[in-house]
Amino acid sequence: MITAEVCEDAGVWDEMVLDLGGHPLQLWGWGELKSAHNWSVRRVFFRENEVIAGVAQILFRPLPGPFRRLSYVPRGPAYQDGKGSGVYEALVGYVKLNLPGTVLTVEPNSEDAPEVKGFLQSKNTILIPRTLILNLSKNEDELLEAMTKKTRQYIRKSGREGVTLKQVTSREEIAKCLEIYHETAARAGFALHGDGYYYDVHEKLGDASVIFAAYEGEELLSFVWLAVSGKTAFELYGGMNDRGQELRANYALKWHAITTCKRWGIARYDMNGLLNDGVSTFKQGFASHEDMLAGTFDYSLSPLYPVWTVALPKAKAILRKIKSLR
C-alpha cells in the first residue's frame, strides 16, 4: 500500500525529484514562485514499504463559492518505473481528503495517460502537450543533421556576424532581457506578468533558473530562459530585438543553450509547446520530429465538476487567467 507524507524540507524534496528524473516544474523553487503569486503549494511523498515510490508538487487555489478549490500538478507526478498507477491512486486519495474541491488536474511529463480510473482528458490545457523534445544523448552531428538546412545555415551565419553568447545572472542583465521580452510580447501580441514575477522566477528557482543571452558588443540582442532539472531543460521565455532578428542571433543562441545543456549532462531539451505561429516554425527547424505528451487530465472531486468545465462563465475566465504562465 502506498501512503502519503507531506515534505517540508527543500533539500530533501529536490533530491527526490532529481532522483526520480522529475521535471523542473516539480522542483521546490517553482512551488515557491507560484505560492508568491496567487497559488498555494503542497509537496507530497508517496511511500511504499518505506521507499519513496513517487512525488507530487500540488499547486492549488480557491475557486468561487461552492467550487471551493482547484488542485494542479504541472508535469507530474514523478515516480519509479512500474509505480505510476499506485502513485496516481495515492495522489487522488490525498487530494480528496486534504484538498477537497472541484477538480484535480494533472499534466504528466510523458506520453502516458494516468493509469487510474476516473481521470478524463480535458480540453482546458494549461501547458501545451504538442511540443519538441531533443534527445541530448545524441551527439552534436546527429542533432545538427536533424535540423533544417536553413537552421544550420543561420547558426553558422550568426556565429560569423560577431554575435557573442553567455549565461547571464545579474539583476541588471535580467532587466535588459525583460526589456526585450516586452518588445517581443508587443510584437507577437501576448500578455506578460509584471516584471517582479520574472525576477522571482530567477530568485526562487536559484540554480535551476538558467538564462543565456546573445550580444553584439555590449548590446543584448536576444535571450532564452530555461528551468532545468537533472534530466530536463524546459524553455520558459525568450525574446529578440530588431537587431537580433537581422543577425539571426536566436539561432546561434538556441544552439548554444542546447549544447551547453548537453555538456552539463541533461538528457532532454523541451521547447515548451508548439502552436501554429512563427515562433513554433523557428523551433521546428531544430528537429525533424515533434512530440505529443499525454496532455491534461482531470479527476472530478465534486458533482459541480461539469458546471465548472462547461457552463460557468466565471470559471472560464479563471481558466484563461490560470493559463497565463508566461
Q: How confident is the model over 224-243, as pLDDT tens digits?
A: 999 999 999 999 999 999 99
pTM > 0.75: yes
Which grid coordinates are listed for 52? 519513496
CA gap 220, 212 in Å, rounded: 11
State the pLDDT at residue 326.
45
Residue 44: per-residue pLDDT: 98
Q: What are the grid coordinates assigned to 234, written together?
A: 524546459
Q: Tell me how far apart the alpha carbons of residues 61 and 53 are, in angstroms, rounded to a whole number.
A: 26
Q: Answer yes or no: are the C-beta atoms of 84 and 115 closer than 8 Å.
A: yes
- Nine-digit cell string for 160: 560569423
Of residues 238, 324, 233, the one with CA closest to residue 37: 324
Q: How much is the pLDDT for 315?
A: 54
37: left (phi over 0), alpha (psi -120 to 50) or beta: beta
Phi, psi for residue 114 in degrees, rounded to 5: -55, 135
Please say whether the beta carbons of 255 and 237 come within 8 A: no
* Cell numbers linked to 151: 537552421
- Distance (Å, whole) CA 105 – CA 127: 11
- Give every residue of the chain whose pLDDT is below 70, as ranges: 276, 311-326
230: left (phi over 0), alpha (psi -120 to 50) or beta: alpha
- Among 171, 235, 233, 167, CA closest to 198: 171
137: left (phi over 0), alpha (psi -120 to 50) or beta: alpha
pLDDT of the residue at 10: 98
Can you say how many angstroms the Cα of residue 92 is from the centroid of all Cα atoms in its chain?
Answer: 22
Cα(75)–Cα(108) distance, rounded to whole angstroms? 5
- The three-state secondary structure class of 47 is strand
| pLDDT (0 to 100) of residue 284 | 93
In this structure, the strands spanning 51-62 and 130-131 are unpaired
The reported pLDDT for the residue numbered 278 is 74
Assess contact for 240 and 249: CB atoms under 8 A.
yes
Question: Please, where are the H alpha helices in the chain?
Answer: 10-19, 28-35, 84-98, 140-145, 149-160, 171-188, 195-205, 242-247, 249-263, 278-284, 305-306, 313-323
CB atoms within 10 A of CB 145: 11
**Nearest by Cα to 23 from 286, 309, 266:** 266
